[in-house]
A and B are shown apart, each in its own frame.
Chain A
Amino acid sequence: MYRYDAVDRAVLADRAAEFRDQVRRRLSGELTEDQFKPLRLMNGLYLQLHAYMLRVAVPYGSLDPRQMRALADIARRFDRGYGHFTTRTNIQYNWIRLADAPDILDVLAAADLHAIQTSGNCIRNVTADPYAGAAADELEDPRVWCEAIRQWSSLHPEFSFLPRKFKIAVTASPHDRTAAKVHDIGLLLRRGRDGATGFEVIVGGGMGRTPYVGPTLKAFLPSDRLFSYLEAVLRVYNRHGRRDNIYKARIKILVAALGAEAFGREVEAEWEKIGSAGDLPGSEIARIRDAFTRPELADSPAPGDFEARRAAEPAFARFVRNNLRAHKLPGYAIVDVSLKGFGETPGDITADQMDVVADLAERFGLDEIRSTHEQNLVLPHIRLADVHTVWKALDAARLATPNINLISDIIACPGLDYCALANARAICVAQDIARRFEAPDRAEAIGELKIKISGCINACGHHHVGHIGILGVDKKGEEFYQLTLGGSGAEDATVGKMLGPALPIDRVTDAVEAIVDAYLLHRKDGERFLDTLRRTGDAPFREAVYADAH
C-alpha cells in the first residue's frame, strides 16, 4: 500500500472542508441545484432514485484492513449496513443523506480515503490489474504509476472541466485484467529492448452508446515521459473534444472523427511543445515507489496440508480450482473473494462481510485487499498453508462462492433499482441467471463465460465486452433486454455483436440457457465459449434463441 504523507493528508482535509462549505451553501439556498450538481458530482455524490448515492474512490483497487473497516463503519453509521463495489473498482453507498456527506468525507480522510473525482467530467479513479504486485505474469507493480497518476490528476487545474469523464487503466501483465482497451487511455506496461520500461498507449477506447476498442497511439512511450504525454493527450482533448452533444463528447469520438493517425499527430505536436517540463522527476517516482509498503513475503513457505485437504475435501478443491490464481512466489496464492453469491446483488457486500475480509487480510494476507472491475475482491498474498483456513472463514461469511470467471460471476450495474439514469433493472436479471446455473458441476463444465449486464446504454455494466452482453432498454414502458455476443474486455478486446430483437424480462434467462446449450453442442476440444463462438459465428446461437419465434 502507498503510505500517505502530510501533503497527501492535507489535500484530503482541504478538499473535505471545501465540500462541507459547498453543501452548507446548497442547503442555505446560496447555490442553486444547477450550480451545486457539478460540484457534488466531483465528490462522487449523486442523486439517485431513492436517496443520494456516494461513490468512494478505491484508487487502483487497493485497500488495507484499516480502510476496509472504515468503509464498514460508514455502511453502518451512514447507510443501511452495506455497500456496492463498482466496475471502476470503487465502492458506493445507496442511502446517503446530503447533510451527512461532509462527515463521511472526514471519516474517509481519517483512513486516507476520499471521493475525489469519482464522478464529473474529470479524470476518474485510475484502475489497475487487481493482481498487481502478486501476479506471476507481471513485469513490475503498475500501482506505482497509478499512484503517480492519482496525484497528478487530483484537482488538476486545467483538466477538471473536460468535455466528458475520462478513465485511465494501467496493467503490467500480458493478460489484461483491466479492460484497458476500452478505456479513454489504456496503459500497457512493456519492457523496451534496452530493458527500460515504457507503455503501449491506447487512446480512445470506450463503451457507452458508441463502443470502440481503442487504437494504439504509441507503441512504446518511455515511462519517464508518461506525464508530459498524458498532458498532451488531455490538452488536445480538452480543446477539441465535442461539447455540443453529451453523447459525442468522449475522447473516443474525437479520435474516431480525426482518425487515430491525425489525432496522434496533434498529440505529438503538443507533446513536443510541452517537452520534459511536463514530466514528473524520476526522484518523485522513486519516492512513490519507496512509499509503498512491501508485503513481507517469505521465501517458499511450506504449503502445509494444502494438497492433502484439497484431495480430501471436494468443496475445498472446487474453491481452489475456481478462486485461486498463480502467485509470483512459490508457497503463495492469490485468492479471489466472490461477491456473486447466489441470490445476492453482484458487487454488494455487508459491513460484517467487510470486517471479515479486513480480518483475513490482516491475519493471513499481509494487509492487502483489492477490488476488481468485475465486482469481486482479492486477497493477493495468501500462503498455501493458510488457504483452507481463509476459505472456511470466507465460506462462513458467504464470500466463498466458487464461481470466479464462471457463468454466475456476472457484472451488473445497479440498474433501475437505484440508478436515476437506468431504463431497466439489471440486478434481478443477474440473480435469475445465476440461480439457473447454480449447480456447480454444470457451471464448471461450461467453463469461462462472462455475462455483463447494463441497465442503460451508458454501459456501466460493460455489456459491450461481455461474452454474453445484456442491455436493458425501455420499450414502450416495459423492460426489454438486448443480447450481444462475442465481446471481450481482455487483451483480445472485442465489442460484442447484437444477436437479434430485444427480449422481455422473463425470456432472458431462457435465452442465456439456449445460448449455453448451443455452445455445449458445438464446442470442440474444450474450447471456451468465446472460441466456439468465434469459430462458428453467431448463427447457431441466434437460431437457438429465436427458433421458437419463427
Chain B
Amino acid sequence: MPMLIRLSDGVFSQVQDDFVRLGDEEPVAEGDVIISLGRLLSGQVARVGGGRIGVWLEPADEVEALAGRLDEVDLVALAFPKFRDGRAFTSARLLRERLGFTGEVRAVGDVLRDQAGFMARCGFDAFSPADGSTVEAWAAAAGRHRHVYQRAADGRAPAFVERGSF
C-alpha cells in the first residue's frame, strides 16, 4: 500500500490508503476508487457494492463543477503535476471555504514536504509525499511557523487576531 499521511484534529499520522485510482476506460471496480472529474460528471457507474468514491482533479479542473455533487464524494484528490504549479492551493481553499466540503482533500503528484504548511493551511488533510518524507518530518515541516499572517481554510488565528485586534 502506498504511504499516506493524514491530518486529523491537528495530528499527522501514517495511514493505509484504501483507495485505488481507476482510469476512465477501466471497468467498474470493487472497494474505494478514485475517478476523474469527467467520469464522475458523466454519471457512469464506477463502483460496485458500498465502496467509497473519490474524484481526481487536475489543476485546470474547476472545483465549482463539483457543486451539488459533493455529497456523493468522500475524497477529492488535487493533483500537483509539478510542485511549482500552485493552482491546487486555490482549489483546496474553495472546496473548503466556498463549497463547504468536509471529506478528505488529498494532495497527490509532486508533493514535497516544503509545502506541507501551505497545504495544511489551504485545507488539505491527506498527503501522498513524493519525496519519501516520514510522518514526523512532514509534521515538523507543517508546524514550522508559530504564527501566520492570513486567514485561510484551516481556521488558524492569523496574527491580526492574535494581536487582539477584534
Is there direct touching of A and B in the complex, by C-beta distance under 8 Å? yes
Determine the distance from Cα of A38 to Cα of B121 in the docked complex, in whole angstroms: 20
**B contacts with A: majority SS:** loop
Instruction: List chain A residues, Cβ under 8 A from B141.
Output: 18
Which chain A residue has the least Cβ–Cβ distance from B122?
A157
Q: Give B130-150 as 1s and 0s: 1 = Cβ < 8 Å from A's Cβ atoms.
A: 010000000001001111111
B147-160 near A? 1/0 per residue, CB < 8 Å? 11111100000011
Q: Which of B85, B122, B149 meets A152, CB within 8 Å? A: B149
A10 touches B146 (CB 8 A): yes
In the complex, are the beta carbons of A238 and B114 less than 8 A apart? no
Which residues 113-134 in B have Cβ within 8 Å of A in the complex?
114-115, 117-119, 121-122, 131
Q: Using Cβ atoms and an 8 Å threshold, which residues of chain B touch A151? A: 149, 159
Chain A hits for B121, CB < 8 A: 157
A238 touches B89 (CB 8 A): yes
Task: State in angstroms the CA–CA spacing of A10 and B145 once bound together.
Answer: 8
Task: Report if A158-B93 is in contact (Cβ < 8 Å); known contacts: A10-B147, A283-B165, A287-B165.
Answer: yes
Q: Chain B contacts of A160 at CB under 8 A?
A: 86, 89, 118
| Contact, CB under 8 Å: B85 / A161 | yes
Contact yes or no, A14 B85, CB < 8 A: no
CB-CB under 8 A for A17 and B144, given A22-B114, A35-B131, A158-B122: yes
Residues of chain A contacted by B114 (CB below 8 angstroms): 22, 39
Contact of A155 with B86 at beta-carbon distance under 8 Å, contacts A35-B131, A284-B160 already known: no
Residue among A39, A158, A273 with the highest chain B CB neighbour number at 10 A: A158
- A residues less than 8 Å from B131 (CB atoms): 35
For residue B147, which residues in chain A have a CB less than 8 angstroms away from its CB?
7, 10-11, 14
B interface footprint on A1-31 (CB within 8 Å = 1, 0 otherwise): 0000101101100110110001000000000
Contacts of A121 in B (CB 8 A): 84, 86
The distance from the CB of B1 to the nearest CB of chain A, in whole angstroms, is 24
A259 is an interface residue with CB less than 8 A from chain B? no
* Set of chain B residues within 8 Å of A10, measured between Cβ atoms: 146-147
Given contacts A157-B117, A158-B152, A277-B151, contact A18 B86 (CB under 8 A): no
**B47 sits at the interface (CB 8 A):** no
CA distance A158 to B150 in the complex (A): 10
Of all chain A residues, the one with the shortest Cβ separation from B119 is: A157
Q: For the complex, what is the distance from the CA of A157 to the CA of B145, rounded to whole Å? A: 12
Interface size class of B (residues with CB under 8 A): 35 or more
Are B166 and A157 closer than 8 Å at their CB atoms? no
Among B62, B83, B89, B145, the residue within 8 A (CB) of A14 is: B145
B89 partner residues in chain A, CB cutoff 8 A: 157-161, 238
- What is the bound-complex CA distance between A255 and B148, given in angstroms? 31
Complex contacts, B166 vs chain A, CB 8 Å: 281, 283
Q: What residues of chain B lie closer than 8 Å to A287, measured between beta carbons?
A: 160, 163, 165
- Min CB distance, B53 to chain A, in Å? 25
With an 8 A cutoff between CB atoms, is A363 at the interface?
no
Chain B residues closer than 8 Å to A334, beta-carbon distance = none
CB of B112 closer than 8 Å to a CB of A = yes
Expressed in whole angstroms, the Cα–Cα distance for A441 and B98 within the complex equals 64
Separation of A161 and B165 alpha carbons in the complex (Å): 29
Show 23 A/B contacts (Cβ-Cβ < 8 Å), sorted by A. Answer: A7-B159, A11-B146, A11-B149, A14-B147, A18-B144, A154-B149, A155-B117, A156-B150, A157-B118, A157-B121, A157-B148, A158-B86, A159-B89, A160-B86, A161-B85, A161-B86, A238-B89, A239-B62, A243-B59, A280-B160, A281-B160, A281-B166, A287-B163
Shortest 5 CB-CB contacts between residues of A and residues of B: A161-B86, A157-B121, A284-B160, A283-B165, A157-B118
Residues in chain A within 8 A of chain B (CB atoms): 5, 7-8, 10-11, 14-15, 17-18, 22, 35, 38-39, 121, 151-152, 154-162, 235, 238-239, 243, 273, 277-278, 280-281, 283-284, 287
Known pairs A155-B145, A157-B121; list 19 more (Cβ under 8 Å).
Answer: A10-B147, A14-B145, A38-B84, A39-B114, A121-B86, A152-B149, A155-B118, A156-B150, A157-B117, A157-B119, A160-B89, A161-B83, A238-B87, A238-B90, A239-B90, A277-B151, A281-B160, A283-B166, A284-B163
